[in-house]
Amino acid sequence: MTITAKASLTPSQTEEIDHVALDEDYVLTASFVEKVVDASDAGDGLKLRSLLEDLHPADVADLMGFLTAEHRTVVVLWLPPDLLAETLPELDDNIREEVLERVPHLTLAEALQELDSDDAAAVVEDLEDDQREKVLAAMPEVDRAAIENSLRYDEDSAGRLMQREVMAAPSFWNVGDTIDHIRKQGEDLPELFFDIYIVDPHNKPVGGLPVSGLLRAARTIALVDIMEPINAIAVDQDQEEVAYIFEKYHLISAPVVDAAGRLVGQITVDDIVNIIQEENREDILRLAGVSDEDRGSSVSEIVRGRVPWLAINLGTAVLGSIVISWFEATIAQIVALVILLPIVSAIGGNAGTQALTVTVRALATRELNSSNAARTFRRELAVGLANGFVLAPLIGMAAGLWFQEWRIGAVIGMAMVLNLLVAATVGVLTPLTLSRLKFDPAVSSAVFVTATTDFFGFLIFLGLASLVLL
């Protein structure tokens, strides 16, 4: 958890000093970014430092995203070391890797000691093997152990996400005991905590109490009499599950337990917000066939992430081509049919993508499971049919008038209704099937859905046309 004591200057505050870093929406202004660029071009370190030193680490990270790699190098050189430390966990992955390569390992070892164990581990994880060894070797034993322990858990697990520092109280304590303990042991407790976990003699959490509840209760009240049920998180639980639990039950923090149910750490909601954003980002990009990329990605990294999807798309698009080739003779006789193919393709693809997106989203938010899958499918079919009955007359009449041939209108109208049923079917069943097979339903679904609606759309339209018009 990184809740830094230093809050950002509010826009109104910054107006009082000579450089306005943030606009009214708390976004870095273009003119501030320009000042940083100018100062680093001029190699004016003192100017750079004066521009940067009052920024919140999150704003420094943001600034780095707006700079080119060369300017980042200069900025890193002039960042005060403690600000650099707090900025590291905030950076985009690609930029963090780039920055880490440039920071001497002793500076890094010192910087990491300023961070909570979970943030420090996240940074160390991004180091090259040899750099990692050097950095860890230069750290005090206790910090190194905490980081190594954190890295022992799977990358996307609760264990990696948690901080080891927690405020635990034995179940026989009362409110007064707990408050006295906090006053005395202040230094060993987490810098910031929201819930106290009440543990039994085996160190298993049996309840929780918000700090404000502790403050409000009389000193003689036993903790067990005012504690509330808790949602304990298993240390090997996937971070997506953890985010779901936090979101569903509106948690601020939750205890993490090992396989034996013993308290080993806690997760706080601010880390969860990041994970929710990360998962949403993944879903939206995967639906479009974009692999992980960010502001720091190079052109070749981006191309390597996107070309495979385009190549798959090329392969599936050939299916549509093949269908058309089957009807070459029909088309040679009635070239007008070709003019309608983009419409068949666009409407089928779009309706399929609508059904697909709704289904992928419902799966991601767990609003869709086996108890309502059949109902969802029937509803999408009904929607497809209704869409067809609205759109088919429109396009049918338009096509009939364009080609002065009502039979062409009838064919495209009928084909559209049938293809919208195909779109609803593949739009729902593709992600449902992928999800049941334990694949990510967002990945590659869109390519498959549009290929299928093209294939059947052309087949139905050209098939009907051959039957009716020839």
Q: Which positions ≥6 away from 380 have C-beta within 8 Å?
A: 355, 358, 359, 424, 425, 427, 428
How far apart CA 247 and CA 99 sit, in angstroms, is 33
Nearer to its own copies, 127 or 158 (CB): 158
Nearer to its own copies, 134 or 403 (CB): 403
**Least distance from its own copies to the Cβ atom of residue 202, Å:** 15
Quick check: 135 and 126 in contact, CB under 8 A?
A: no
Q: Which positions ≥6 away from 465 have C-beta within 8 Å?
A: 327, 330, 334, 337, 408, 411
Q: Copy the structure tokens of residue 183.
A: 């006053």
Nearer to its own copies, 84 or 368 (CB): 368
**Least distance from its own copies to the Cβ atom of residue 323, Å:** 8
**Least distance from its own copies to the Cβ atom of residue 241, Å:** 6
**Least distance from its own copies to the Cβ atom of residue 130, Å:** 31
Nearer to its own copies, 314 or 468 (CB): 314
**Least distance from its own copies to the Cβ atom of residue 170, Å:** 18
Cβ count near 371 (within 10 Å) = 7
Cβ count near 400 (within 10 Å) = 18
Residues 427-442: b if buried by 16+ CB within 10 A, e if exposed: bbbbbbebbeeeebbb
**Least distance from its own copies to the Cβ atom of residue 215, Å:** 5
Nearer to its own copies, 68 or 404 (CB): 68
Report how far apart the first and last C-alpha atoms of the chain are (Å, whole number): 71
Which strands sit side by side in the sheet containing 205-210, from one edge to the other? 168-170, 195-199, 205-210
Q: Which positions ≥6 away from 234 have C-beta within 8 Å?
A: 158, 256, 257, 259
Q: Which of 266, 279, 275, 257 is nearest to 116 (CA)?
A: 266
**Least distance from its own copies to the Cβ atom of residue 273, Å:** 5
**Least distance from its own copies to the Cβ atom of residue 147, Å:** 21
Q: Copy the structure tokens of residue 246.
A: 């936090």
Rounded to the nearest angstrom, the gap between the alpha carbon of residue 310 and the centroid of all alpha carbons in its chain is: 23
Nearer to its own copies, 216 or 407 (CB): 216
Quick check: 124 and 152 in contact, CB under 8 A?
A: no
**Least distance from its own copies to the Cβ atom of residue 302, Å:** 5
Nearer to its own copies, 3 or 137 (CB): 3
Nearer to its own copies, 151 or 285 (CB): 285
Nearer to its own copies, 231 or 433 (CB): 231
Beta strands in 62-126, from DSSP E residues, in sequence order: none
Q: Is 266 helix (H, G, I), strand (E, B) or coil?
A: strand
**Least distance from its own copies to the Cβ atom of residue 262, Å:** 15
How far apart CA 200 and CA 328 sit, in angstroms, is 78
Nearer to its own copies, 150 or 297 (CB): 297
